[in-house]
Amino acid sequence: MNDIQFEIIDKLYFVEPYSTLLKEIQVPENVLKNELKEMIKLGWVQVMQFDEKYKDYVATPFFNVDDLHSYYFLATKAGLLNHHTKQ
């Protein structure tokens, strides 16, 4: 886990929108997008959407990787474990 990924996981103990990550993590947007894509692929971050029916955030396996602004994110158990064991 690199330093940017560590910082991303640090922000995702609770569901956060992409806009918050972009504002709080001081990297260019293309870097944030690439790191998020990699972390999703590794299973460290879950993509979430707000479900009006349940009035809650739910995991979505289907998302547009080119439109991350429309989604929310949450660290997975695997992501948190990697975050806690980073030396």
What is the identity of the amino acid at 35? E
What is the identity of the amino acid at 14? F
User: 73 with 46: CB under 8 angstroms?
Assistant: yes
Q: Where are any strands of DSSP class E within the chain?
A: 16-17, 45-51, 56-59, 72-75
Domain at 3-85: CATH code: 1.10.10.10
pLDDT at residue 73, rounded to an integer? 96
pLDDT digit of tens for each residue in the chain (87 aa)?
A: 999 999 999 999 999 999 999 999 999 999 999 999 999 999 999 999 999 999 999 999 888 888 889 999 999 999 999 888 875
Other CB atoms within 10 A of residue 36 CB: 24
pLDDT at residue 87, rounded to an integer? 53
